[in-house]
Amino acid sequence: MSALQQLYETVQKDFMRLPVKVPTISPDAMPVIATVSLGLAFFLAFYFTTLPKQGGTIKEPISAILGSTFAGIGVVALFNAVGVYV
């Protein structure tokens, strides 16, 4: 047996002894997180696009940042909920 093959077998044995990875957020909670996050994102997008335009206010950038954050979290949670682990 070569040294490389012995190293591979040693690493493989060490890998098999590792504990199973437990997700931080339960997979059962992903549909709820996706629904709430995407709902908030759509609400903020609606709020942002239907308000009368006010120049120089801080509300618009804050609602845009929150909306895009919720949309990003919601899309990742939705993908995880349907089995596409990203």
SS (H, E, C) 24-44: CCCHHHHHHHHHHHHHHHHHH
- Name every residue whose Cβ is closer than 8 Å to that of residue 27 and which is 6 or more positions away in sequence: 80, 81
Average pLDDT over residues 25-41: 93
* Percent of the chain topping pLDDT 90: 52
Residue 63 has pLDDT above 90, yes or no: no
How many C-beta neighbours within 10 Å does residue 48 have?
Answer: 16
Average pLDDT over residues 43-67: 78
Tell me the range of 5-14, 47-56, 58-67 where mean pLDDT is highest.
5-14
Torsional sign, CA 46, 49, 52, 54: positive
